[in-house]
A and B are shown apart, each in its own frame.
Chain A
Amino acid sequence: MVRLTINGATRDVDVDPETPLLWVLREQLGMTGTKYGCGVALCGACTVHVDGVATRSCVLPVSALTPEQAIVTIEGLSPDGSHPVQQAWLELDVPQCGYCQPGMIMAAAGLLAGNPNPTDDDISAEITNICRCGTYNRVRAAIKLAAADSDATQNG
């Protein structure tokens, strides 16, 4: 039995502790918003937050996690799609097929949490998720929009 804290809730999961977090989320917990793209930490489709840090869950065995660590998935980023990153994504209508987008959004939210006003170079260096549909420019614009909106919120 493995104990995890996911989106604020304690979850006890009966699973081989070597199972990657990605598959525990998708299969044991039925949270399929986090996607499988490569399985080897190359594409970012499986990005979640672990203690606020964007993390590729496909190579993270649940045995490496403690019950105290806060895991946040796309389902828990906000209760209703209202996180500033999701709002910016909606405003700019970013997704195409959408398969990479939960990972993109989690990576972007992770970036902004640590760096509220990222430069273009910061974005290029930090967002290394693969999007085969080619949403990169809108992802970049949406990150900047989310940054500006959070600024406005904080100042207002």
Chain B
Amino acid sequence: MTRVQLSRRHFVASSAAALGGFSLGFHVPFHAKAAADAAPAGIPEINAWVVIHPDETVVVRVARSEMGQGTLTGLAQLVAEELECDWGNVTTEYPTPGQNIARDRVWGSFSTGGSRGIRDSHDYVRRGGAVAREMLIAAAAAEWGVPAAECQVDKGVISHPGSGRTTTYGKVAQAATTMSPPAEVQLKDPKDWKIAGQPLPRLDTRDKLTGKQVYGADLVMPSMVNAAIKACPYFGGRIASFDAQAVTGMPGVQRVIQVDDTAVAVVAATWWQARTALDALPITWDEGPNRDVSSASIQVMLEEGLDAPDAFIGTEAGDARAALAGATRTVSAVYAFPYQNHATMEPMNATAVWTPERCEVWVPTQNGESSLAVAAEAAELPVGQCEVHKIHLGGGFGRRGNFQDYVRQVVRIARELPGTPVKLLWTREEDMLHGAYHPTTRCKLTASLGPDGQVDALHMRISGQSILASVRPEGMVGGKDPVVFQGLTADNPEGSFGYTVPNLLIDHAMRNPPVPPGFWRGVNLNQNAIYVECFIDELAHAAGIEPLAFRRRLMANHPRHLAVLEAAANGIGWSEPPPAGRHRGLAQIMGFGSYVAAAAEVSVTGGQLRIHRIVAATDPGHVVNPAQVERQVEGSFVYGLSAALFGECTVSGGRMEQENFDSYQVMLMDSMPAVETIIMPSGGFWGGVGEPTIAVAAPAVLNAIFAATGKRIRTLPLKNHDLA
């Protein structure tokens, strides 16, 4: 192979050319310092959020990552709303993490997870739009010599009614850059929104229909080489040895490179050659200390925690233990939720070029700043000498946020090939074996049940894995992982428990198997909703009370929780009997700041489950794009129901058993129910929409299955159960 040493400037320019219309980040000058000064030469940057071209094109800068959830469109709507520009002129671009650092983090957080894209940044992005608008108006007013207060703006056209003069944003943009930003701006009342709040089509659809959209896996750069990798599949294991000689003569193969002490990569001219050689490469693994860990051993570990004396308390009222000890009637059940893989359709990948002075990475990432930090560490260079260019993600779901293992790997490989761009793409098998898995937990619930169905006491003991303990220990509070209690804490704006039980104890026996856990779309709300909502259904059945009426009695103090539940129930026609052969179930929870509920209608014929319909109600406070909210709700059900029906990663011999979609089945079109989405924003707060509704799909379906069959499914996935 000829390895061309590109000059840096040439490298950036030719990469942009190679990528055709893909402009994000590539027009940025190489040095962060220069980038800090301005937008592309000659194009006026009004402020960090808004760039306006002379042809009236409005470029809105978006710091959060687009991974399918529509945040790019939603955030642009919020900026455009305050900017008062013509929506038809709006395009978007990502600033880079390096620019963010160089400009004192003017764009705030790049982190895209926890359904936070809109709800955490709506205020400052709207302010960004409003400030830019005022500066543009001020520029026109100064040119005309009239008070700015006498000017108006509509769709990017500024006018001064007194004199009849008009101009446009494109014409005054250059002058506006010299105006001082107003100290105060008044944000619009959402009632007056014209662009935000509308069901606008996404800005990024067209290229996704023709194959033009460039994902990380698609990047091509001049003189780029391709890498395929295998990391030790045994948790805590490492490489014992590999025989590079065995593959050195294979077509296209250039290098066999050990990456840290855990992985080995083959670098070749094409990825197919790299992968073919990697499959032929003899590798011996040192299986490490977890050879005896299996799903069965993890189950034993978690079951012990269900009755262990010590546990972290998440929510407590009254004295649940005493009340249960004295109760005349108690009901108890144990539930379990298995490991899940994110299984984004685009496998993990990243592209890097490294020189002794500089490292650049192109990566689909949910957190460009994490990518940058990991790149700098792996490059052994100061952060200021590194840069990350974000690329649209072929799915994220939490896998591409905190975990930047692929960035570390590609930079370590690129270090061995200075000046040569290296693209690392994981196989699906690698992706399945090296997940950041949805943690496994079990839950024992015990409640007292009074003669009229009152629930005087409830103890909910969760036993199992903490995500924070492994991923973000600085988020732990006195050894406790607060995220374990998602949707179960009293008075938490992020997700409060929707039932009033006078004697309530929800606690967590932390049991951490040696399997790397991660944030998986919906996180702990997924299983917590199943535990609570299926158990409430069990209590209703035990009390002989219809499940909606039973819940109402416990929800008098939780009107917003109840409102979405009633809406979902109404939507499915709860007060009328279902069509013959069909059966219904309900669920509600609060999470990621939003109130959500679902009502499912199923039939079970000869053991065959069919989910016919789900009606979902969601109250996220405010809605920026109802069309995108609908898509998120539908999509969330696929994710949640995939897990409930099929999803399960099992451990044997200290490693995952599933390596592809044959053994890790996911939901296909044939199991998809009709989804009706009710969006009922009640105002006064901002909740997320990408995740919360996932959690209610499974319990609503499980409760409907009980109604259909009398079978209580307490361990998932459903494929392991006989419904006949």
Query: Which residues of chain A have a CB within 8 Å of any CB of chain B?
Result: 16, 19-20, 23, 26-28, 30-40, 42-43, 45, 73-75, 77, 81, 86, 89-90, 93-102, 105, 123-125, 127-140
* A28 partner residues in chain B, CB cutoff 8 A: 270
Task: Report which of B208, B638, B667, B675 forms a contact with A95, defined as CB distance below 8 A.
Answer: B208
The CA of A20 and the CA of B70, in the complex, are separated in Å by: 34
Q: Kindly list chain A residues whose C-beta atoms are within 8 Å of the C-beta of B69.
A: 96
Q: Select one of A96, A99, A131, A137 contacting B346, CB under 8 A.
A: A99
- Chain B residues closer than 8 Å to A93, beta-carbon distance: 201-202, 205, 627, 631
Q: Does B635 sit at the interface, judged by CB under 8 A?
A: yes
Task: Enumerate B654-678 residues with CB–CB distance to A below 8 Å.
Answer: 660-662, 666-670, 672, 674-675
A69 to B441, CA, bound (A): 53
CA distance A30 to B270 in the complex (A): 11
List 8 A–B pairs whose Cβ atoms lie within 8 Å, in order of A's numbering.
A30-B220, A42-B661, A74-B211, A96-B631, A97-B346, A98-B213, A100-B345, A131-B345
Asked if A89 and B662 make an inter-chain contact with CB atoms under 8 angstroms apart, the answer reads no
Closest to B219 in A: A32
Whether B345 and A128, one on each chain, are in contact in the complex, defined by CB atoms closer than 8 angstroms, is no
Contact A98 B394 (CB under 8 A): yes
Residues from chain B with a CB closer than 8 A to the CB of A34 are: 211
B422 within 8 A of A: no
Known: A42-B662, A89-B209, A132-B344. Contact between A97 and B395, CB under 8 A?
yes
Q: How far is the CB of A140 from chain B (nearest CB, A)?
A: 7
Give 18 new A-B contacts, CB below 8 A, not counting A35-B345, A123-B669, A137-B675. A23-B271, A32-B214, A35-B215, A37-B347, A38-B660, A40-B428, A75-B211, A90-B209, A95-B202, A97-B67, A98-B394, A99-B395, A130-B668, A132-B345, A132-B666, A134-B636, A136-B634, A136-B669
A40 (CB) vs chain B CBs: closest residue: B660
B345–A105 contact, CB under 8 A?
no
A137-B211 contact, Cβ under 8 Å, with A35-B346, A36-B347, A97-B67? no
The secondary-structure label for the interface of chain A is loop
B10 at the interface (CB under 8 A from A): no
Residues of B participating in the A interface, judged by any CB pair closer than 8 Å:
67-70, 201-202, 204-215, 217-218, 220, 226, 251, 270-272, 343-347, 392-397, 425, 427-428, 627, 631, 634-639, 642, 660-662, 666-670, 672, 674-675
Within 8 Å CB of B637, what residues of A? 134
Chain B nearest CB, measured from A15 CB (Å)? 9
Q: Cβ of A36: which chain B residues have Cβ within 8 Å of it?
A: 217, 347, 425
Q: Say yes or no: A125-B670 contact (C-beta < 8 A), given A27-B270, A73-B211, A131-B345.
A: yes
Distance (Å) between the CB of A138 and the closest chain B CB?
7
**Closest CB-CB distance, A26 to chain B, in whole Å?**
8
Chain B nearest CB from A135 CB (Å) reads 7
- The 8 Å CB contact of B345, one of A37, A124, A139, is A37
| Contacting residues, chain A, for B214 (C-beta < 8 A) | 32
Partner of A20, one of B272, B636, B669: B272
Provide the bound-state CA to CA distance between A26 and B637, in Å. Answer: 32
Known interface pairs A90-B205, A90-B206; A99-B272 also in contact (CB < 8 Å): no
Nearest chain B CB to A120 CB, angstrom units: 10
Residue of A nearest to B393 (CB): A97
A99 contacts B215, C-beta separation under 8 Å: yes
**In contact, B674 and A137 (Cβ under 8 angstroms):** yes
Chain B residues with CB below 8 A from A134, complex form: 634-639
Closest A residue, CB atoms, query B694: A134
State in angstroms the CA–CA spacing of A28 and B269 once bound together: 10
Which 5 A-B residue pairings sit nearest by Cβ, starting from the closest? A33-B211, A134-B638, A97-B68, A99-B394, A134-B635
B209 contacts A95, C-beta separation under 8 Å? yes
CA distance A27 to B672 in the complex (A): 35
Q: Which residues of B contact A16 (CB under 8 A)?
A: 251
With a cutoff of 8 Å between Cβ atoms, the chain A residues found around residue B636 in the complex are 134
Q: Check B209–A86 contact: CB distance below 8 A.
A: yes
By beta carbon, the residue of chain A nearest B396 is A97
Of A23, A26, A27, A132, which contacts B639 at CB under 8 A?
A: A132
Known A90-B205, A96-B69, A99-B395: A132·B343 in contact at CB below 8 Å: yes
Residue numbers in A under 8 Å from B347 (CB-CB):
36-37
Q: How far is the CA of A94 from the CA of B70 in the complex (A)?
A: 12
Contacts of A19 in B (CB 8 A): 272
Q: Which residue of A lies closest to B642 (CB)?
A: A132
Query: What's the minimum C-beta distance from A9 to chain B, rounded to whole angstroms?
Result: 16
Determine if B346 and A128 form an interchain contact, defined as CB atoms under 8 angstroms apart: no
Contact of A137 among B207, B212, B425, B672 (CB under 8 A): B672
Cβ contact of B210, chosen from A27, A35, A81, A100, cutoff 8 A: A81
Enumerate chain A residues within 8 angstroms of B666, measured Cβ to Cβ: 130, 132
Question: A141 CB to closest chain B CB, in angstroms?
Answer: 11
Q: Which residues of B contact A131 (CB under 8 A)?
A: 345, 638
Let me know if B211 and A99 touch, CB within 8 A.
no
- A98 in contact with B427 (CB, 8 Å): no
A32 to B207, CA, bound (A): 12
Task: Name the residue in A131, A132, A139 with the highest tally of chain B Cβ atoms < 10 Å from its Cβ.
Answer: A132
| Residues of chain B with a CB closer than 8 A to A27's CB | 226, 270-272
The residue in chain B whose Cβ has the minimal distance to the Cβ of A124 is: B670
Most chain B CB within a 10 A radius of its CB, from A95, A102, A129: A95
Closest to A139 in B: B669
Q: Are A42 and B660 CB-contacts (below 8 A) given A96-B68, A136-B669? A: yes
Q: Which residue of A lies closest to B672 (CB)?
A: A136
Question: Do B662 and A40 have beta carbons less than 8 Å apart?
Answer: yes
Chain A residues with Cβ under 8 A from B205's Cβ? 89-90, 93-95, 98
Whether A38 and B669, one on each chain, are in contact in the complex, defined by CB atoms closer than 8 angstroms, is no
Of B214, B397, B642, B661, most A-chain CB atoms within 10 Å: B661
What is the CB-to-nearest-CB distance from A12 to chain B, in angstroms, rounded to a whole number?
A: 17
